Structure 1
Amino acid sequence: MQLHVRYEGDDDPAKCTARKLARFDLAELHRSDRATPYGIVLNPHAEQALSPADREKTDRLVALDCSWESAGEALFSMAGEHRALPYLVAANPVNFGRPFRLTTVEALAAGLVVLGERDHAESILSKFRWGHTFLELNEEPLGRYADCADSSEVVAVQGEYLDRGPD
């Protein structure tokens, strides 16, 4: 699956996971919505959750790389099939253990796992010291999401994690 990133460039370049993926030719960065190709857009504001059923829609996964402070709904105006990632916790050093506060590489890796491309997810996460920790922390939910048939099943599984609350 091709990985694309709509790149805003408003975070610290030294900590930017999207830039690092691009340096290793693992993702392509795009500076405008118009330049960003059609694909499955990982959008936390989407009304539908990402599920294995989305695998058939396209061979491109698209993420938005921007500061969490500016990640409003208006930024997600790219063309594509917009899907929200289900409940997962961050492993990155800035947001470790916080739900839904994923870096771009974590979001792309989660999307890849849900879409049945775990080896690809492991490959992109291997460029980060903490990358393997993301898969370890989210092993159970990612496996369960990847086994779902469609978005409604993913939402039902996610509900179980949200009902548990913090450990």
Structure 2
Amino acid sequence: MGGIFFKGIVFIVENNWSVVECHVYYEGDDDPEKCTARRLEKFDKAILYRKMAQVPYGVVLNPHADQALSPADREEGLETLVALDCSWESAEEASFRMNGVHRALPFLVAANPVNYGRPFRLTTVEALAGALCIFGEREAAEDLLEPFRWGETFLTLNEEPLRRYSECDDSTEVVAVQDDYLADDETTE
């Protein structure tokens, strides 16, 4: 990749410019036809890196992290989201050795055709969109998901938990909402 140009999501919030950059470390071990990260790059919605040392510092979406993502991460000035794009078979803890603040996404359900309805089995674009929603940037998430037929379905399936997570003050509250949501879900079954 030659020079790095900003490719990300720029949107206006309350008449102020706000930028959330979406970056992806791309391992290239999954099916290129189904790779959401490559499609994000194609539509100039994220920057892909093939060398971990090139990945910028930011909030690393890591399913093995000890702390849940919350709006507080955005408020601390962390305007960069970083995801790892790899197959689920290789998504081991060692794969997430990037510099940054590591955060786990709370309970969300996949809408992609491969893992539809499975909790926590998100594609790269679903993870980034979920994080944007938790940061209170639903319009940016919609824009990110626009190239995918099932993108709107992801937001619909997760509408209530994403709304509730975005209203939390910190990671502890996000985990409490997740536990409450899962308990409510179990009692309705």
Calculate the TM-score normalised by the size of structure 1: 0.97
Name the counterpart of 2:73: 54
Q: Distance in 1 between matches of 2:146 and 2:160?
A: 20
> Which of the numbers 77, 83, 93 marks the counterpart of 1:73?
93
- CA RMSD in angstroms, aligned pairs only: 1.1
1:15 match: secondary structure? coil
Structure 2: which 5+ runs fail to align?
A: 1-19
Residue 113 of structure 1 pairs with residue 133 of structure 2: yes
Q: Percent identity?
A: 68
The residue correspondences of 1:1-167 to structure 2 (distance < 5 A) are: 1-55=20-74, 56-163=76-183, 164-165=185-186, 167=189
Deviation (angstroms), 1:141? 0.2
Q: Distance in 2 between matches of 1:160 and 1:95?
A: 24
**Higher Rg of the two aligned structures:** 2
2:53 match: secondary structure? coil
1:157 match: secondary structure? helix
Deviation (angstroms), 1:162? 3.0
Q: Distance in 1 between matches of 2:51 and 2:92?
A: 16
2:60 match: secondary structure? strand
Structure 1: which 5+ runs fail to align?
A: none
Calculate the TM-score normalised by the size of structure 2: 0.86
Aligned length: 167
User: 4+ residue stretches of structure 1 with deviation over 4 A?
Assistant: none
Deviation (angstroms), 1:32? 1.9
Counterpart residue type for residue 22 of structure 1: E
Q: Which has the higher contact order (CA 8 A, sep 6+)?
A: 1
Q: Distance in 2 between matches of 1:32 and 1:118?
A: 30
